[in-house]
Amino acid sequence: MATPRVAILRAPGTNCDEDTAYAFRRVGATTTKFHINALRANPERCREFQILVVPGGFSYGDDVAAGKILATQMQQFLGDALREFRDQEKLILGICNGFQVLLKAGLIVPADEEGPMATLTHNTTGRYEDRWVHLRVTPGNCPFLTGLDRLEVPVAHGEGNFICRKEWILKGLAQSGQAVLRYCSPAGGPASYPQNPNGSQDDIAGVCDATGRVLGLMPHPERHILPTQNPNWTRTGLKPEGDGLALFRNAVHFFQ
């Protein structure tokens, strides 16, 4: 398939849909933005696409909890369609609020009989964090991250603190290769605040499902597509492209 088709899911409060569409268009994909109500009315539209993205923002104002209302809608009305989508070896991406949605919808770490195994909750600082961070990448079998080892991208969130219900769950995610993105120091070592901006356990910034084809991450790769988007470019030199573009290119190349 020469030109993968990307569906970008919108809801009231979503505000990064156009940034995400722009990133995919720059690497050769075609994009269509869907309001959640349109996809609810016709879930079979998912079959027309190869990549589904839940972008960042504040879906439904995060009034119940970050991403929770949209996650519940996806569980109740799109659950079968999304599982079929994933099982056909297509790709699903959630960025920031989209990560919160995918995680709370059970598409990354499914719940067990005791309830959710992991969640994203309030930053330990108790405030919204908006800053640039360094990420250490361990791609495993995640197509979005093939060939990557480091990224510098921004974060902007109030509820990005990744927490597992039990220690064994956290260890299991690491051992299975699902903890694919971690905050790190500029030199690549362990992170402390503000390098880890939210207090996430094990410095986790992004997690994929067991197949590797469903990825959620709190940082915003779509906000570092152009090299001039990095505020340090005049001091560090102008790169050919922003760090985040490789993630989108990898997704497109997966189908080429």
Query: 164 in helix, strand or coil?
Result: strand
Is 134 labeled as catalytic in the residue annotation?
A: no
Q: What is the DSSP string of 184-234?
A: E-TTSS---TTTSSS--GGGEEEEE-TTS-EEEESS-GGG-SSGGGSTTHH
Residue 73 and residue 35 in contact, taking contact as beta carbons nearer than 8 Å: no
What is the rounded CA–CA span in Å between residue 123 and residue 103? 17
- Active-site annotation holder among 16, 96, 142, 164: 96
Active site residue 220: yes
From residue 52, alpha-carbon distances to 5, 62, 81, 113, 216 in Å are 9, 21, 11, 28, 12
Q: What is the CA radius of gyration of the chain?
A: 17
Among the listed residues 155, 154, 180, 146, the one whose alpha carbon sits nearest the alpha carbon of residue 248: 146
Which pair of structure tokens corresponds to residue 79? 């659950």
Q: Of 220, 108, 120, 210, nearest to 162 (Cα)?
A: 120
Euclidean distance between CA atoms 6 and 25, whole angstroms: 9
Active-site entry in 129, 184, 222, 224: 222
> What letter would DSSP give residue 57?
B
Q: Considering 46, 152, 184, 220, which one is annotated as catalytic?
A: 220
Active site residue 222: yes
Peptide bond into 194 cis (omega under 30): yes
Q: Which residues are catalytic?
A: 96, 220, 222
